[in-house]
Amino acid sequence: MARQNIYDNETFFSEYRKLREREVNANNLFELPTLFANLPDLEGKRILDLGCGSGERCKDYIKRGAAKVTGIDISEKMLAAAEKENSDPKITYIKMPMEDIGSLKEEFDVVISSLALHYVEDFRGVTESVYRLLSEGGIFLFSQEHPLATCFSGTYDRWTRDENGRKIYANIADYCVERRNDSTWFVEGVQRYHRMFSTIVNTLVNSGFKILKMDEPYPTEELVQKYPEYYDLYHKPDFLFVKVQK
């Protein structure tokens, strides 16, 4: 089974880092606030971060009282940045695809993944491994691209616009066709896996999890007035958050 490692592409890595360094972006405005709002108490907890990237969140979890954080990522470039920018005696970074976490011998109290699982083909295998790695009552919290976003194949216009170019609704096609979609984002050939909302939920339940909460963040009226370009999130949210418990 192929494991995508697009973040080691020099162009992709460079452009992605530039995007995340911008103060105003969807991650800072919507993804991170929702992630932090859904975190359980991390005091004294053992944390596993799936797709840790350059380690900013691992450092955040230590600041929130975590006893130990293990961050895994498939990208050498991301892990090199993590070791350089977000190292800590309580953080261990490991080069490993998420599909291989079943080989880990440790137990964790909280498993977190930020915008990484839509790159994984074997979602069921990952969720089953997470369940085995968690302590009893442990929490699995993850965000991913929303299924209304992952179903877009790039073969049609994503938006219908009015005569002034304003987005008036999102174009959705083949939502029920679960598949890999290859798209262009900084570079060609970025692979995302589309799964229906029901597939995500049922896979977690069948793996043994209890669903605690879901979130689909969208902007407040005040935020849209300040950043009108995010009005389109009223039509189609970018992110899906799921919080489950063993």
Tokens representing 221 are: 């009226």
The alpha carbon torsion through 6, 184, 239, 163 (nearest 10 deg) reads: 170
Question: In this predicted structure, what is the pLDDT of residue 228?
Answer: 93
Residue 154 lies in a domain: yes
Residue 174 lies in a domain: yes
Residue 1 lies in a domain: no
Question: In this predicted structure, what is the pLDDT of residue 20?
Answer: 67
Look up the pTM and report it: 0.93
CATH number at residue 219: 3.40.50.150
CB neighbours of 183 closer than 8 A, spacing ≥ 6? 152, 153, 154, 190, 192
User: Quick one: three-class SS letters along 139-183?
Assistant: EEEEEEECHHHHCCCCCCCCEEECCCCCEEEECCCCCCCCEEEEE
Residue 117 lies in a domain: yes
Residue 62 lies in a domain: yes
Residue 160 lies in a domain: yes
φ and ψ at 69, to 5 degrees?
A: -130, 130
Residue 82 lies in a domain: yes
Number of structural domains, the chain? 1
Question: In this predicted structure, what is the pLDDT of residue 4?
Answer: 66
d(CA 107, CA 115): 23
Mean pLDDT computed over 53-75: 96
The parent domain of residue 46 ranges over 6-245
Question: In this predicted structure, what is the pLDDT of residue 11?
Answer: 67
Measured over the CA atoms of residue 86, residue 40, residue 94 and residue 203, the dihedral's sign is negative
Percent of the chain with pLDDT over 90: 80
Tell me the per-residue pLDDT of 187-241, one tens digit each, with 9 for 90 and over: 556 788 999 999 999 999 999 999 999 999 999 999 999 999 999 999 999 999 9
* CA distances to 45, 64, 111 from 94, in Å: 19, 21, 15
Question: In this predicted structure, what is the pLDDT of residue 182?
Answer: 83
Mean pLDDT computed over 159-183: 93
- Nearest CA-CA partner of 60 in 78, 77, 80, 85: 85
Helix, strand, or coil here: 54?
coil
Tell me the per-residue pLDDT of 1-13, one tens digit each, with 9 for 90 and over: 557 666 656 666 6
Under the banding of pLDDT at 50, 70 and 90, the label for residue 25 is: confident
Measured over the CA atoms of residue 53, residue 145, residue 229 and residue 35, the dihedral's sign is negative
Q: Decide if pLDDT at 185 tops 60.
A: no
Helices (H) then strands (E): counts for the chain: 9, 11
Question: In this predicted structure, what is the pLDDT of residue 109?
Answer: 98
Residue 22 lies in a domain: yes
User: Based on the number of CB atoms within 10 Å of its own CB, is 176 exposed (0-12), middle (13-18) or buried (19 or more)?
Assistant: exposed
Tell me the per-residue pLDDT of 162-173, one tens digit each, with 9 for 90 and over: 999 999 999 999
d(CA 203, CA 5): 24
